[in-house]
Amino acid sequence: MYGVSSVVGIEGGYKGFYSKNTVALTPKSVNDIHKRGGTVLGTSRGGHDTAKIVDCLQDRGINQVYIIGGDGTQKGASVIYEEVRRRGLKCSVVGVPKTIDNDIAVIDKSFGFDTAVEEAQRAINAAHVEAESAENGIGVVKLMGRNSGFIAMYATLASRDVDCCLIPESPFYLEGKGGLLEFVERRLKDNGHMVIVVAEGAGQDLIARSMNFVDTQDASGNKLLLDVGLWLSQKIKDHFKKKPSFPITLKYIDPTYMIRAVRSNASDNVYCTLLAHSALHGAMAGYTGFTVAPVNGRHAYIPFYRITEKQNKVVITDRMWARVLCSTNQPCFLSHEDVENMKHDDDEHHHMHNTQLLEGGSSPVSKCNGSAAAV
């Protein structure tokens, strides 16, 4: 519709800007990519060299760049936008949110989240079948969620077979009165089986303390996580080994990459199309330095600095987490003092985000220097 003459793809994430040739993207070449999982352009960790990336945009005469990814990718896009603006280049920089973790702030949800929750059901169902089939059967399922437990939370609510959901935002403890092991024992005595869903970032402090582990990071600066699923499974087995009269059968299922690799479902396909349209129209109207996504159900252009301020996390003093606790009937593992502290943090969070977001693009989203005639 806009008469664009050339669209190119950058392969291999941020380092693809300066270490690889671009690939031509045509309506024919992208015709059926929405029917496949993964990415045709490839992805990578790290490799963000702002000066080299903007040099590439300048040298190749690119005047619109669409950067697709999660909260780390959006931070990278923000830095590129600042450098483009500093140099006075006529180039729109637009972010499109894509992460199954749903950890991008301000927006309603990110592309991929619905599909991840749907696919997680298969793993939880398998764990439930295995647990139900054995004497004192326990099914442990580890789902993605490095810092945010949205997949685990929504998958738990959707399944209704889950007896305990553990997420990074909600601390828990194993031993003693009110601990996880006591709850597992009680639930097995009552029901004869149980299913535990754990997000990959849950309980990291507990594991690190028990293993004297020192923090390390990947190429993107993310903290490397210890396998909470294996650790938790072993702790449960060790606990019941001390009780010979209480034999258990534990099955651990780790479907994390299977969930990320599937093709998107119908809901996400529709959402992806809407994101693409909004991003394109915003750039063509001359706006830059924004991420596009729905906020309270209405598609908006959100300035990068708002998106990158903090991660979206489950608020465990909120109603949605209370619904999970009602569904699973698990202990909350929190003292009254913990809850009050979290309410205080939540009040500060709401106060900080009580700002106006303008739909369709206007200040505080920047207007680009020039018209955007070719990508």
Q: Tell me, what DSSP letter sits at residue 360?
A: T
181 exposed, middle or buried (CB, 10 Å; 0-12, 13-18, 19+)?
A: middle
C-alpha 304/C-alpha 287 separation (Å) is 12
> In 3-state terms, what secondary structure has residue 195?
strand
Locate 15 and state its tokens: 């380092």
C-alpha 250/C-alpha 230 separation (Å) is 11
Catalytic residue among 101, 114, 163, 268, which? 101
Which residues, at least 6 apart from 214, have a Cβ–Cβ distance to it below 8 Å?
none
**CA dihedral for 332, 113, 318, 72, sign (positive or negative):** positive
Match 């580890």 to its residue by tokens.
142
Cα angle 234-236-238, degrees, rounded to a multiple of 5: 65
Helix or strand run (H / E) with residue 150 = helix 150-159
DSSP one-letter string for 45-70: S----HHHHHHHHHHHT--EEEEEES
CB 328 within 8 A of CB 165: yes
> In 3-state terms, what secondary structure has residue 294?
strand
CB 75 within 8 A of CB 122: no
C-alpha 35/C-alpha 282 separation (Å) is 26
* Residue 199: strand pairing partners: 143
- 101: annotated active-site residue: yes
Which residues, at least 6 apart from 74, have a Cβ–Cβ distance to it below 8 Å?
67, 95, 97, 104, 291, 304, 307, 308
**Which residues are known catalytic residues?**
101
